[in-house]
Every structure is written in structure tokens, then in C-alpha cells.
Copies of this chain bind each other. A is one copy, B any other.
Amino acid sequence: MHPPTNRRIVLAARPKGEPKDDDFRLEEAEVPAPADGEALLRTLYLSLDPYMRGRMNEGPSYAPPVEVGHVMEGGTVSEVLLSKADTLAVGDIVLAYSGWQEYAVADAKGLRRLDPSAAPVSTALGVLGMPGLTAYTGLLNIGQPKAGETLVVAAAAGAVGSVVGQIGKIRGCRVVGVAGGPAKCEFVVNELGFDACIDHRHPAFKESLKASCPAGVDIYFENVGGAVLESVLPLLNMFARVPVCGLIAHYNQTMPTRGVDRVPMLMFAILTRRLTFRGFIVTDFSAQAADFARDMGQWLREGRVRYREDVVDGLENAVGAFQGLLRGENFGKLLVRIAAPR
């Protein structure tokens, strides 16, 4: 039973600043047929993540950009509709990288079968997936949390930040989140168990953050940049560590910020307080995926790590949801539900 049409979202133009509706195009195309060793997949969930903004730009970043006219890339949870691989059966649910579309053909070797009885399959895109592994490896390898230290987590209600802070609590840190708006802050404290969460939109943000970190900051998990970094920097203690995971405040920035060059100030802070700033992406630590799966699985079963998903229905709403993600409008791991499993 081969489906008739594949709906897919392609990059129509490279966005300048905030991605506009016109930068994308919803197309219909034929559904491809799998060759030997491949499977035809139907997308159940599409993950929307901030890194995708970088893929829309020209020039190299982590990975080559998405070409104009090509399907936007992205992780998916998908169902096997047709299999020409021994390892996969029709009806299997897999973690794939199908992108922003309803159907895709993939090499079976690049797919990971999920066990729907072990955890909701959507978590393979969130707390048990790339964002969770990002949080785990960045915090433990670069942040190196020690009991009693203070950890500040930017974008604390987000897919990565929420996990970073909860692992910090498990490791015995005082954990202070930064999030946008009172609802997220309340969730971060009451549901996720952070010690405090400061609203970066509040006029007294800087003062509140300082007051919440009476012993300074030993680890700042950076995925925002901008005003949050600026406010944390004076609080960093001697030998503090800054895993640099993302800079969402700048992803849509087209013009450099005029005014004062703060690089010398940042370098002086690094020098005199012996700070470590280190960038990473999740694939740098892929050797730790098994440790992560073991630990995170256990923490979820024990209720020590919680998560929240923000699920948007329908491929046609992916662009709007992604635009909202860059404005901080999502509340939890952002997913697009494309179809229900049969």
C-alpha cells in the first residue's frame, strides 16, 4: 500500500534575520520507493530544534547548509511502512532523520528501532534523544558539576536546559534557571525542582539573578547568549566552566550590535578568573550514548527527571512553530505531530 503523495516543506530562500513564511514552501511530491536495504517511513513526530536556524544559512557551521529547494532537515520518529531490510518490519517505530516531510526513504543502517513499551516514542526526540544527550554530555564533560556548586541554566524550560538543571540537582548542585515569563519559571521550580528560576524578561532580571546566586556561579550552561550571558558573566566564580551549547539570542541577528566591544571584558574575565569556555555539539560525545541511555532511563523511571512536550499538530504548522521556537514561545520540547501510528 504505497501512499499517493508526500507533502514536504522545502527551504525556498535563505532567511535574512527572522525566518519568514516566504522562506519556506509546502510542496507535494511523489512518495519514493525503497531500494534493497532501505525502508519507506511515515513521519509520526518531527523534532524542531534551534540548531535548524543555522542550517538555513549559507556557509559552513557544524554541517553543510540545507540547499535552497531542498527539504528542511530534522530528526523524526517514524513508522516503517515498507521494508526492504531484514532488520526492520512493517509497523516498527524508528528514530530517523527524515526532515520536514510526511514520508521518506532511509537506509535501515541509519535507523534505530524504538520500544514503545519502554517510553513514549516522542521522547526519542527529547529527553531520551539528542537534546537529552546534549544536556548530559555538555554538563558532565565540560560543566563537571560538583555537589554544592551553583549551576545557572539558560533556556531552563527548553528541551536541553530542563534536563541540564535536573541532572545538576541529581549531582547536588544549587540550580538556578533562566526562562522567559512567569509560567515557565513556575514550571521550572515547581515541576522540575530547580532551586530558583529568573524571568529574563523582567526589568529586575540582573539583580534577581545575582540575588539567587549568593555564592556566585560555578557553571553556566550557555544556550542563549546576549543579555543572559552579560548578566551571568560578573557572577562567575574562579575556575567556573561555561559549556557553550547554543546562542539562540543571536540566531536571527543580521547586524552586529553597535556600541561597545565587550570582547576585552570577556577575555579579562576568562584570564583573571581562570574561566573555561568550551563549545560542543552532541556528536562530540556520541561515545557516551550508552551511558546516557542507561542513566536517563533510570532517572525517568525513578521520577528524578521530568519533561514537558509542546506538541503542534500538522506539517503545515511546522514553519509557524519553528518561528515561535526562535522567539521562545514554545514551552517544553517542541514537536510536530505529523501522523498517528496505524
Report how far A277 CA is from B229 CA in the complex, Å: 16
Instruction: Give chain A's interface residue range (CB within 8 Å of chain B).
Output: 35 or more
Q: Is the CB of A268 within 8 A of B247?
A: yes
Residues in B with CB closer than 8 Å to A269 are 279
Closest chain B residue to A249 by CB distance? B264
A155 to chain B, nearest CB (A): 14
Q: Is the CB of B274 within 8 A of A280?
A: yes
Report how far A229 CA is from B257 CA in the complex, Å: 19
Closest chain B residue to A276 by CB distance? B278
A265 to chain B, nearest CB (A): 7
Q: Is the CB of A62 within 8 A of B272?
A: yes
Tell yes or no: A339 within 8 A of B by CB: no
Residues in B with CB closer than 8 Å to A246 are 271
Closest chain B residue to A269 by CB distance? B279
Residues in B with CB closer than 8 Å to A244 are 267, 270-271
Residues in B with CB closer than 8 Å to A267 are 222, 225, 229, 244, 247, 250
Q: Is the CB of A256 within 8 A of B261?
A: yes
Partner of A247, one of B264, B280, B281: B264
Closest chain B residue to A265 by CB distance? B256
Residues in B with CB closer than 8 Å to A268 are 247, 250
**CB 8 Å contact bits of A94-137 with B (1 = contact, 0 = none):** 00000000000000000000000000000000000000000000
What residues of chain A have their CB less than 8 Å away from a CB belonging to chain B? 54, 61-62, 222, 225-226, 229, 244-247, 250, 253, 256-281, 284
* 14 contacting pairs across A/B (C-beta < 8 A): A61-B272, A225-B264, A225-B267, A229-B267, A247-B268, A256-B260, A256-B265, A258-B260, A258-B261, A263-B263, A263-B266, A266-B266, A270-B278, A276-B279
